[in-house]
Amino acid sequence: MEDLLEILEDLHPDIDFETHEALIDQQVLDSFDIVTLIAEIDSVFDVTIPAEEIIPENFNSAKALYKLIERLSDY
């Protein structure tokens, strides 16, 4: 989780990602951020997020995103 928070804070130093629950709905993240996130997650966690998982629900909070990473790395 620490690693993920670091990636997110790098993108938006002014956001508290531990508590924010509406990163997509409140337009904190934009398409550039999503592309960057997916690339960083790939290199840091060695997890490739497939297209069908690139949906708002998985990106609305750091928690949700971390759950997705855990789920994908179980395989």
Partner 1 sequence: MQYNVLEYLEHTVNRLPEKVAYADDKIEITFQETYNQARAIGTFLARRGIYKEPVAVFMNKSPMEIVAFFGVVYGGNFYVPLDEEMPKFRIELILENIKPKAIICDESSEMLLKEMGYGDNLFLYDSIVGTSIDKQALEDIRNKAIDTDPLYVVFTSGSTGIPKGVVACHRSVIDYIENLTQILDCDEDTVFGNQVPLYFDACLKEVYSTIKCGATTYIIPKSHFMFPLKLVEFLNEYKINTVCWVVSALTIISSFKVLDKIKPEYLHTIAFGSEVFPIKQFNLWREALPDARFINLYGPTEATGMSCYYEVDREFDEDDVIPIGRPFKNTDIILLDENDKIPEQGELGEICIRGTSLTFGYYNAFDITNKVFVQNPLNTAYPELIYRTGDLGRYNQYGELEFVSRKDYQIKHMGHRIELGEIEANVNKLDEIKSSCCIYDEEGNKIVLFYVGDINIKDLSKKLRQSLPRYMVPNKIQQLEVMPLTPNGKLDRVYLKGLIKSKNKER
Q: Residue 12 in contact with residue 73, Cβ under 8 Å?
A: no
Mask for 3-42, x = binds partner 1 (CB under 8 A): -------xxxxx---------x--x-xxxx-xxx-x----
By CB under 8 A, is residue 50 in contact with partner 1? Answer: yes
- Minimal distance, residue 71 CB to partner 1, in Å: 18
Choose which of 56, 67, 70, 73 interacts with partner 1 (CB under 8 A). Answer: 56
Q: Does 74 bind partner 1 (CB under 8 A)?
A: no
Separation CA 10–CA 27 (nearest Å): 17
- Separation CA 24–CA 27 (nearest Å): 5
